[in-house]
Structures are given as structure tokens and as C-alpha cells.
Amino acid sequence: MVRMKPLKNRPHVLVFDSGLGGLSVVNAIINARLGVDLFHLADTAYFPYGEKADEALILRVPAVIRAGIEATSADLVIVACNTASTLALDTVRSHVSIPVVGVVPAIKPAAALTQTGTIGLLATPKTVTRSYTDQLITEFGNGKQVLRHGAVGLAGAAEAKLAGETPDPEIFKAAISGLLDQKGGDAVDVIVLACTHYPLVQAELEALVPRPVTWVDSGEAIARRAAHLLQDQMDPEAPTLRRGLTTGGADEATRRVLLGFGFQTVEALSVSSQL
């Protein structure tokens, strides 16, 4: 007889993002076959973060994450949003009592991969300007040149694609030309996708780059980090996608995407009204 471990014994992992970009991290966790119960929380009422003021985000992000942890009894939270992580990781850690894994631009692997010594960093307009990003480049860039571009509307284009719409092709073109048409852009041979939405539109971006480049994102490393932190608690099964949560009263498209992705239910999370 097969002895089944009760579901509630599996660690609960909460993947948080401003929107549905966290699904690229969920994909990485599925590929790594972590034996956990997964919950995805999208702050849909406040999407996109990449064009919001820091003062507002630093208040909102910890509050939404706390509400998400409470609603899901999470044992570990992944801040699957570079824009939020590069601003508010320390603040989030000071507000919660479970381990917090941040998702930040993958500068270190990119620096190890580049042959030309020039890396392209594609992120939201906020992430490219953060001092956290400067520090990552200084600490892990290994002296390589990093050309940055803050892409306007690209996360929204990824959401549109997920919803089954056709995103405006000009958004992809503007993102790639903003990155590669800079002085020195011809030498870029590694592109860091430093927003969790961007791996979801990598094919559209790749089609616009006329030469081979290596695309790097943080998904695999995050799955490895989560596995390391939860090693003794996981069972050998693949993850179960439990609940999708939104702050915006899940619209039909978001609900369809999350259910289509495999989440069992989609619900609205109520977050304190002053936010």
C-alpha cells in the first residue's frame, strides 16, 4: 500500500509579484520539481510597480506580503519581483517572521558568461535606477560593462500575452532598441532579463535581436535557493499549485490565466484599505 504524506505537511511557498510575472518563477519551481505547495500572489490592484513611486511601494509591498503570508500560512516567501526586491527586501524581512527570498538582477552569472565584456540589463524603469542594482554591478559585475535600459510597458505586454491578447509589437521593439542602440550596444552578448515578466516574452524579444546572445534570468537560481532553504521539509513529489491570489478582485482574464496555469482556485485577497 502506498503511504501518502498528508498535503498539509508540505511547505507552503508564496510567490509574490506585482502581477503575473511570478509565473516565470513558478515555472522554474515546477522544472526543478520542488515538493512544495505553491501559492501565487499578484498585486493586481497596484500593477505595474516599475513606474510607481518608491515611497508608495515601500509601504505597500510589506503590507501585501504580510496579508498573503497570513492567508496562505506560508513557510517561505519569494519576492518574485526585481522592482520590489531591489527596493524593499530589508523592509519586508523586518516585517515577517519566515524566510524571504528576493529576486534581483542576475549580474553574477551574466558576468561569468560574457565573452565580449559587455552585458545588457533589461529591467523596469525603476529597477535600472536603484542603488541596489548599482551595488550588484559593482560587487558581482567583475569589471564588465553593463548597459541598462528601463523598458516602459514591457511587463504589461507580457500580461497581455498571457491573457491571450496580441501585445503591441512596438513595445518589444522599443525595449530592444533602447538596450542595444546605445553606444557600445553592438558588443552586448548576454542580456539579463531583470524583471520576472520578461522571460514570459523572451521569444518575442529574441526575434528582434539579429545575432546570437545568451539570455539570463533568475528563475533557476531562485528555485535552487528555495530548495536549499526547504531541503528537509520537501517531499519528493512535484509541486502542487494551490491558490492564486490577487488584490484587484481577479478580473476574468487573470482568473483564466491562473486556472489555466494549473492553480486550483483564484481568490481576491483583502489588504488594508489605507494602502
Assess contact for 145 and 116: CB atoms under 8 A.
no
Position 44 contacts ligand DGL (CB under 6 A): no
When the beta carbons of 82 and 247 are compared against ligand DGL, the nearer one is 82
Of residues 11 and 19, the one with the C-beta less far from ligand DGL:
19
- Taking alpha carbons only, the member of 202, 198, 225, 194 closest to residue 83 is 194
* Residues 125-164: x where in contact with ligand DGL by CB under 6 A, - otherwise, as a string: --x---------------------------x---------
Q: Which residues pair with 261 in a beta bridge?
A: none
Task: Say which of 81, 146, 191, 245 is annotated catalytic.
Answer: 81
Whether 226 is a known active-site residue: answer: no
Does residue number 40 form part of the binding site for ligand DGL (CB under 6 A)? no
Burial class (CB in 10 A: 0-12, 13-18, 19+), 131: exposed
124 binds ligand DGL (CB under 6 A): yes
Q: What is the residue type of 22?
A: G
Nearer to ligand DGL, 19 or 239 (CB): 19
Strand partners, 246: 42, 268
Task: Tell which residue, 141, 46, 127, has the closest CA to residue 87.
Answer: 127
Give yes or no for residue 195 binding ligand DGL (CB under 6 A).
yes
Binding residues among 15-34 for ligand DGL as defined by CB under 6 A: 17-19, 21
Nearer to ligand DGL, 19 or 141 (CB): 19
Q: Nearer to ligand DGL by C-beta: 194 or 213?
A: 194
Q: Which stretch binds ligand DGL (CB under 6 A): 79-87, 92-100, 143-151, 208-216?
A: 79-87
Which residue is at the shortest CB distance from ligand DGL?
Answer: 50
Identify the CA nearest to 60 among candidates 95, 13, 23, 20.
95
Amino acid at 13: V
CA distances (Å), origin 27, targets 102, 160, 196, 204, 241: 16, 18, 11, 18, 11
Q: Cβ contacts of residue 128 below 8 Å, gap of 6+?
A: 121, 148, 149, 150
Active-site residue (options: 20, 195, 230, 271): 195
**Residue 127 per-residue DSSP state:** G
- The question of whether 44 is a catalytic residue gets the answer no
Beta bridge mates, 14: 39, 77
Q: Which stretch binds ligand DGL (CB under 6 A): 2-10, 44-52, 202-210, 236-244?
A: 44-52
Quick one: which segment of 48-56, 173-181, 235-243, 247-255 binds ligand DGL (CB under 6 A)? 48-56
Alpha helix stretches (DSSP H) within 52-106: 54-72, 82-95
Number of residues that bind ligand DGL (CB under 6 A): 17
The footprint of ligand DGL on residues 215-254 (CB under 6 A) is none
Catalytic residue IDs = 81, 195
State the residues that interact with ligand DGL by CB under 6 A.
Answer: 17-19, 21, 47-50, 81-83, 124, 127, 155, 195-197
